[in-house]
């Protein structure tokens, strides 16, 4: 990291030393900086770049006061989600058919900076920022994704934190709900002279909605998040030239488990948890340090950000039987004589010994990135250039261990001393560069871009006596894109684009055995933006040259070697995305409404047998798992002078849990070891309601009901058994804003 630190210091010093340059006017510079942390900008302005986009601003986020990113993204087309815990603690998000497991194939950013624990070395996002402290959530797909990387197959989410206000600002939000849910949220900030600051704190907790056999223990969570920003203005009143320091710290303790239910037990009580899950607990801490320097010349803006994220988590959970029997096999066939005793152990009906594993992991993600934008006229044409470079380092250290617990009279007791199973480290140094040029010719805007990823990675087995088990590898790739937008008039336009998709392989993976994930993605769309209506209709086609998947506890139930990658070969994913928002003027009332729809199809192009449990014995034409064919979300509201009510209804179509349907060529059930082969998640519909009443300019009260029909359905059978959605939850809250 010495080389990275030297480069970081040099760039920061060079930029800090450029304060003598003439600064542009405020109205230009404020927008320029916001465009560096907010990708999409103003939602009612017609965008002239390619790439399907969605912007959820602060007013939109406040409609339902969701603290579950899965529910927030319900109105965004092209998103495929596999729910897990009901609260959105560990999101599984994919775009346009990219694997949803732990959101590992999309870029997750906060204020334009990668926020995942180790985006290159271990991208599974066991940490996700608390969405209810964000002032905007942006989602984008298509050619524009090459400016962010490293994952360019699906797309990116950018979470925008609260900015330092120009004047005194303060807010308080307090809420109570069923299942012991509580929320406290407060922020304050202002600018005085050259100094500005904002401080924000958020705390949430819930007792949980599940009941553990033979126990009164909670099954919920306790989360807290604190952020502070301090800014110093260097512009001498001439414009926007500043340095900003950001610090945040967050932690979570949640009584969560990977263990689900048999389908029979789910039907009897979907909110039951077996006695074997009594020891389940996730405990994590996350810290961020970020230094930002921004300066704008007349036609050039430069933003440099040095960042360091530190994340540590330990998840203790039931992980298996002493004889090695598969948990999913037991849950699928609990009445099988080979598994009856194992099932009795899970429920606490029989004494015996169970294995509890703790996955203890430490992460560092750090680096420096500089983004430059400038406008010029070349060869009689208007050009807007964006370019950037990022020097990044991240690593993960694993210290996994197991303990045997005795199941006695329905209680887990007497843990043995830890036995370490995985002690290793994966690390990546990455140098990323990109450049994009948007050329405007009358009503036509053409944007061409190129990204390069240059990776140097290392894997080291840290177990005693295994120090010689290590690997180093280097990898480089160029990722091009081109798109075009034609403005039909000031409010309407059509666009098309093509770009290369890429997802790097892990440092542990031998690239001679598994290829990197690559694809070529196409899209064609129509966009409208007027004061009354926003709409986007996009057809997309992703041609995967190689779909890659990796084995984890979360997706494979220990049915494959952990952290091993698998080739899926050529796969096609295609579909249609539609999103429209409109507001009807009813005189003294406004009726906003929106519809979001996604149609998706996918198919493996080749037949092969895979050891990856979500694939199995694939026949050409089999679909990608956990991607429903149809998704539809409708929102309807009514707004008066000092009140509003809103209803959100989301329908998710049926989706397969494995690519293989579990049948041979004669339609008979295959006798194979692929868990969940042929199982499906049935179509389901969930509705949420909210209402707000403004007592005056500063005080308001609100209420909301999630899942108003108390819908109970299987959201997934991974990890390890059937899992329910969150039941009906009623909440009441109070807000103060000065």
Q: Which residue has the higher pLDDT, 633 or 5?
A: 633
Q: Please tell me the distance from the alpha carbon of residue 90 to that of residue 124, in angstroms, as a whole number.
A: 10
Within 8 A by CB and 6+ apart from 237, the residues are none
733 contacts: CB under 8 Å, gap ≥ 6:
65, 173, 174, 175, 176, 183, 701, 702, 703, 704
Cα–Cα distance for residue pair 321/316, rounded to 1 Å: 15
Residues 6+ apart with CB under 8 A from 623: 601, 602, 603, 604, 656, 659
Closest CA to 360 of 401, 393, 328, 326: 401
pLDDT (tens digit per residue) in 350-390: 999 999 999 999 999 999 999 999 999 888 889 999 999 99
pLDDT at 26 over 50: no
Phi-psi bin for 62: left (phi > 0), alpha (psi -120 to 50), beta?
alpha
The answer to whether 718 and 554 are in contact (CB under 8 A) is yes
Helix (H, G, I), strand (E, B) or coil at 449: strand
For residue 14, what pLDDT is reported? 34
CB-based contact 259:721 (threshold 8 Å) = yes
Cis peptide leading into 150, omega within 30 of 0? Answer: yes
User: What Rg, from alpha-carbon coordinates, does the chain have?
Assistant: 26
What is the pLDDT of the chain when averaged over all its residues? 90
Give the pLDDT band of residue 401 (cuts 50, 70, 90): very high
Q: Are 527 and 689 in contact (CB under 8 A)?
A: no
pTM of the full predicted structure?
0.92
Contact 190, 196 (CB under 8 A): yes
Per-residue tokens: 667: 């339609």
pLDDT recorded at residue 469? 82
pLDDT of residue 240: 85
Quick check: 5 pLDDT over 60?
A: no
**Interval 608-631 mean pLDDT:** 91
- Tokens representing residue 594 in the block: 């929106």
Name the helix (H) or strand (E) containing 12.
helix 2-16
The maximal CA–CA distance of the chain, rounded, in angstroms, is 83
For residues 480 and 489, the answer to whether their CB atoms sit within 8 Å is: no
Q: Count CB-CB contacts under 10 A for residue 490.
A: 9
152-161: average pLDDT: 94
Q: pLDDT for 32-69, tens place per residue?
A: 666 666 655 554 567 777 788 888 999 999 999 999 99
Q: 583 pairs with which residues across the strands?
A: 592
CA distance 675 to 706: 32
**C-alpha count within 13 angstroms, C-beta hemisphere, residue 442:** 3
pLDDT score of 137 more than 70: yes
pLDDT for residue 205 is more than 60: yes
The reported pLDDT for the residue numbered 191 is 96
| Residue 40 confidence (pLDDT) | 56
Question: What is the Cα–Cα distance from 319 to 327, expressed in whole angstroms?
Answer: 8
Tokens 């009510």 appear where?
645
Task: State pLDDT tens for residues 230-279.
Answer: 999 999 866 689 999 999 999 999 999 999 999 999 999 999 999 999 99
Please determine, for residue 515, whether its predicted confidence score (pLDDT) is greater than 70: yes
What is the DSSP track for 122-148? B---S----GGG-SEEEEEESGGGGGT
Q: Which residues pair with 648 in a beta bridge?
A: 635, 688
Nearest to 140 by CA among 230, 200, 73, 194: 73
Q: Please state which CATH class domain 2-352+361-737 belongs to.
A: mainly beta
pLDDT for 32 equals 64
pLDDT tens digits, 434-476: 999 999 999 999 999 999 999 999 999 998 888 778 899 999 9
259, 273 Cβ separation under 8 angstroms:
yes
Contact call for residues 652 and 629 (beta carbons, < 8 A): no
């Amino acid at each position: 990291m010495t080389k990275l630190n030297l480069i970081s210091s040099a760039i920061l010093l060079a930029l800090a030393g450029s304060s003598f340059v003439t600064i542009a006017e405020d109205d230009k510079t404020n927008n320029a900086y916001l465009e560096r942390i907010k990708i999409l900008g103003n939602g009612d302005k017609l965008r002239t770049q390619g790439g399907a986009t969605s912007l959820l601003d602060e007013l939109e986020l406040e409609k339902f006061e969701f603290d579950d990113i899965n529910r927030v993204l319900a109105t965004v087309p092209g998103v495929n989600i596999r729910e897990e815990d009901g609260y959105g603690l560990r999101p599984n998000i994919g775009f346009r058919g990219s694997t949803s497991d732990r959101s590992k194939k999309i870029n997750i950013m906060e204020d334009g900076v990668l926020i995942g624990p180790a985006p290159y070395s271990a991208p599974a996002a066991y940490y996700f920022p608390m969405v209810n402290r964000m002032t905007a959530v942006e989602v984008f797909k298509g050619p524009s994704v090459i400016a962010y990387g490293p994952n360019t197959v699906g797309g990116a989410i950018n979470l925008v934190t609260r900015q330092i206000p120009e004047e005194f600002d303060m807010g308080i939000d307090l809420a109570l709900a069923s299942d012991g849910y509580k929320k406290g949220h407060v922020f304050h900030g202002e600018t005085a002279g050259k100094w500005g600051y904002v401080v924000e704190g958020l705390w949430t907790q819930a007792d949980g909605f599940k009941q553990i056999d033979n126990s009164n223990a909670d099954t919920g969570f306790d989360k807290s998040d604190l952020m502070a920003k301090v800014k110093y203005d260097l512009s001498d009143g001439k414009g926007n030239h500043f340095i900003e320091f950001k610090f945040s710290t967050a932690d979570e303790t949640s009584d969560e488990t990977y263990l689900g239910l048999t389908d029979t037990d789910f039907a009897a009580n979907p909110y039951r948890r077996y006695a074997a899950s009594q020891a389940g607990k996730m405990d994590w801490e996350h810290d961020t340090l970020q230094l930002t320097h921004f300066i704008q010349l007349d036609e050039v803006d430069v933003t440099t950000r040095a960042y360091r994220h530190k994340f540590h988590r330990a998840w203790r959970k039931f992980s298996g039987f002493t004889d090695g029997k598969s948990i999913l096999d037991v849950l699928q066939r609990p009445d099988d004589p080979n598994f009856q005793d194992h099932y009795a152990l899970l429920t606490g009906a029989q004494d015996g010994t169970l294995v509890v594993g703790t996955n203890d992991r430490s992460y560092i993600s750090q680096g420096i990135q500089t983004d430059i934008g400038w406008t010029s006229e070349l060869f009689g044409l208007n050009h807007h250039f964006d370019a950037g470079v990022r020097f990044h380092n991240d690593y993960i250290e694993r210290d996994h261990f197991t303990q045997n617990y005795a199941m006695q009279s329905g209680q887990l007791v007497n843990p043995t001393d830890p036995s370490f199973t995985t002690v290793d480290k994966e690390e990546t140094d990455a140098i990323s560069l990109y450049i994009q040029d948007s050329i405007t010719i009358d009503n036509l805007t053409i944007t061409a871009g190129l990204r390069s990823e240059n990776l140097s990675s290392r894997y080291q087995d840290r177990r005693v006596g295994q120090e010689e088990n290590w690997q180093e590898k280097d990898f480089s790739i160029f990722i091009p894109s081109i798109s075009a937008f034609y403005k039909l008039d000031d409010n309407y336009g059509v666009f098309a684009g093509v770009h290369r998709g890429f997802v790097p392989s892990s440092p542990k993976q031998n690239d001679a055995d598994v290829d990197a994930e690559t694809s070529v993605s196409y899209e064609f769309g129509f966009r409208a933006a007027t004061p009354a209506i926003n709409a986007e209709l996009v057809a997309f086609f992703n041609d995967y040259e190689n779909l890659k998947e990796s084995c984890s506890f979360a997706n494979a139930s220990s049915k494959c070697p952990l952290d091993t990658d698998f080739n899926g070969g050529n796969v096609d994913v295609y579909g249609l995305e539609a999103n429209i928002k409109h507001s009807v003027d009813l005189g003294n009332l406004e009726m906003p409404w929106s519809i979001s729809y996604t149609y998706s199809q996918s198919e493996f192009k080749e037949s092969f047998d895979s050891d990856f449990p979500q694939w199995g014995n694939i026949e050409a034409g089999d679909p990608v798992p956990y991607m429903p064919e149809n998704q539809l979300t409708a929102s309807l509201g009514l707004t008066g002078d000092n009140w509003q009510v809103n209803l959100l209804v989301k329908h998710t179509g049926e989706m397969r849990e494995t690519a293989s349907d579990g049948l041979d060529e004669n339609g008979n059930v295959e006798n194979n070891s692929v868990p969940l082969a042929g199982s499906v998640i049935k179509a389901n519909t969930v509705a949420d309601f909210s209402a707000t009443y403004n007592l005056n300019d500063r005080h308001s009260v609100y209420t909301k009901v999630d899942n108003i029909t108390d819908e109970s359905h299987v959201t997934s059978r991974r990890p390890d058994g059937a899992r329910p959605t969150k039941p009906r939850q009623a909440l009441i809250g109070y807000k103060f804003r000065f």
